[in-house]
Amino acid sequence: MAPPILILRDIDLSFGGTPLLEGAALSVSPGERPCLVGRNGSGKSTLLKIAAGMIEADDGERFVQPGVTMRYLPQEPDLSAYNDVLSYVQAGLAPGDDGHRAIYLLQQLGLKGDEAPAHLSGGETRRAALARVLAPEPDILMLDEPTNHLDLPAIEWLETELRSLRSAIVMVSHDRRFLSNLSRATVWLNLGETRTLNRGFAEFEAWRDELLQQEEDEQHKLDRKIVREEHWLTYGVTARRKRNQRRLRDLQGLRQARRERPRQAGDVRLSVTESGLSGKLVAEAKNISKSYDDTPIVADFSTRIQRGDRVGIVGPNGAGKTTLLNMLTGALEPDTGSIRLGANLAIATLDQRRESLDPNATLSEALTGGSGDRVSVAGQNKHVISYMKDFLFQPEQIGTVVSALSGGERGRLMLARALAKPSNLLILDEPTNDLDLETLDLLQEMLADYPGTVILVSHDRDFLDRVVTSVIAHEDDAEGAGRWLEYAGGYSDMLAQRGARSEPAGTNISNKAKATAKAKSKTKNGAKLSFKDKHALETLPDQMAALQTKIGEIEQTLADPAFYGRDPEGFDAASARLTIVMAELDAAEENWLRLEMLREELEA
């Protein structure tokens, strides 16, 4: 491996006397792709800024190989000093950089360059900032939450673009799928210290859990040794006084080690306040449509949502996800068609922009509604400080105003408010924004146990796969604007059934169109079917039939209502296998169709 081009060693940093980083380290070699992971507030963004030279550590060493170029993507980009987006992006170029690449990236990201920064949405601001740091193709690219405010097509485009770069990339993100797809090493920041796994994020969580179990075992051994020593001093044989004094000193040393041993941060404790059961029917839409300024947002869409369903809504920013969500919950009337809501619905909502939070209210007022110091949660009357602790807020934050909270803290506050409200229908609009991985895990578990119905809008592919039972997806195709289709299963199941990935932002030609154009080009050049293609045409039908049979067998296994309760791991494995086999069938069908079309054109 090439020598590192960036080294952080023994980094210490404190804020207000409280240590944030203690002996932290980071090493980056050319082309390396480490990700920084850890709880909200653990110091990931701070360590990234130290690496970028934006913050100076209290102690430690920072080495950057001479001549190495860096670019840093902040969580909240500031474009206020620029007249338009293009000038902001070009300001990130160094002498000798290709100015045309800046224009190319803006086009790929769906921006023209003449947009005024003051009028940009959060997603557009993020896209402009990405173009600025990607355009120079630096030696080291540092990305702090690059997927925030991006829709799924933009996230998938970004993954493709980053894979093509030769730059080393250090990334901080709460998007599991993004980290799993791109990272090659994982740096875990915990209790101010860093531990490195020389494998990607996909293998991190099993490794972390093993380390935590080892530490717990060691703590248990230490506790048992202290108990034995205390028992010996109290009831043991007197023996020599010096020996007693030595063992007493040893015992005091053990107690000191236990006191000084780092303790893991507490977990968020999520519990939902349930209302009475809703009717079996939650919502039914029949041929609903909605347009704005003669532009179809939803066109002739129908669905039926029943109690216990977990429905995900996905699509590009601006496609109309929130409009569709509002119609399904009765908050917005369709132009045509009908919406029927079920009986006894009690709705709790987590809005995407946290707009329901009064920035001038204190944390206590936001949780109690300004009335007293008690919160009713899951049938229990809790003191507001106790409820705050469930969401990792400190008692001294009770008077903190909402505007002073971080993005992650505002996200936890919105969750606390939504879950305290009695409900049997949860509406979650981008619930994963700014939440750390551990809180996402707990939210997922809570939703799995929730007896009511969940409708959520999300760009987090992993969260969708873990939570939803069906996906309503925007279909931007030749059949017309405003088209939405519902697919069974999660996001990966939707891709397998659809037969193609969602279109990257700013792309003007689809993967299928590219394949068709390529096939036509070969035809014009007089190409013939190769032996391999002929063999595939002969064998693919049997392969597809075998895959269909296998799918039927797996679906029959999963249809057993007692299967999950009897063998949860087996159920998950079978579900994963079904997704893989369906994808294999889809690929085989697409390959057969491509070859059959090519054969017909050649024969013609």
- The pLDDT score that the predictor gives to residue 264 is 53
Q: Rounded CA gap, 345 and 218, in Å?
A: 50
- The pLDDT score that the predictor gives to residue 500 is 47
Domain 6-206 sits in which CATH superfamily? P-loop containing nucleotide triphosphate hydrolases (3.40.50.300)
DSSP state of 383: E
Q: Rounded CA gap, 368 and 383, in Å?
A: 10
- The pLDDT score that the predictor gives to residue 522 is 40
* Helix, strand, coil percentages in the chain from 3-state DSSP, rounded to 5: 45, 20, 35
**Sign of the alpha-carbon dihedral angle for 452, 456, 461, 462:** negative
Q: Which residues of 348-373 are buried (b: 16+ CB within 10 A; e: fewer)?
A: bbbbbebeebeeeebbbbbbbeeeee
Pick the closest to residue 126 from 69, 87, 79 (CA basis): 79
Whether the domain at 281-498 and the domain at 511-603 fall into the same CATH topology? no
What is the dihedral angle through the alpha carbons of 168, 49, 46, 121, rounded to the nearest 10 degrees? -90
**Are 412 and 391 contacting, i.e. CB atoms less than 8 angstroms apart?**
yes
Q: At what angle do helices 122-134 and 152-164 cross, to 10 degrees?
A: 10
Thinking of the domain 511-603, which architecture would CATH place it in?
Answer: Orthogonal Bundle (1.10)
Q: Rounded CA gap, 133 and 10, in Å?
A: 28
In the chain, what are the domain boundaries? 6-206, 281-498, 511-603
Q: Quick one: how far is CA 181 from the chain centroid? A: 12
Block mean pLDDT (10 aa), the chain, length 604: 90 86 95 92 91 95 96 93 95 91 93 92 92 96 92 92 95 94 94 93 90 79 69 54 57 59 56 68 94 90 92 90 92 94 86 68 86 76 84 84 78 79 86 78 80 91 91 78 90 82 39 38 49 76 85 82 79 80 80 77 69
* Cα within 13 Å of Cα(199), Cβ side: 7
Pick the closest to residue 146 from 181, 185, 99, 111 (CA basis): 181
Q: CB atoms < 10 A from the CB of 519, how many?
A: 16
Q: Rounded CA gap, 159 and 459, in Å?
A: 14
- CATH code reported for the domain at 281-498: 3.40.50.300
Structure tokens at 566: 């009897």
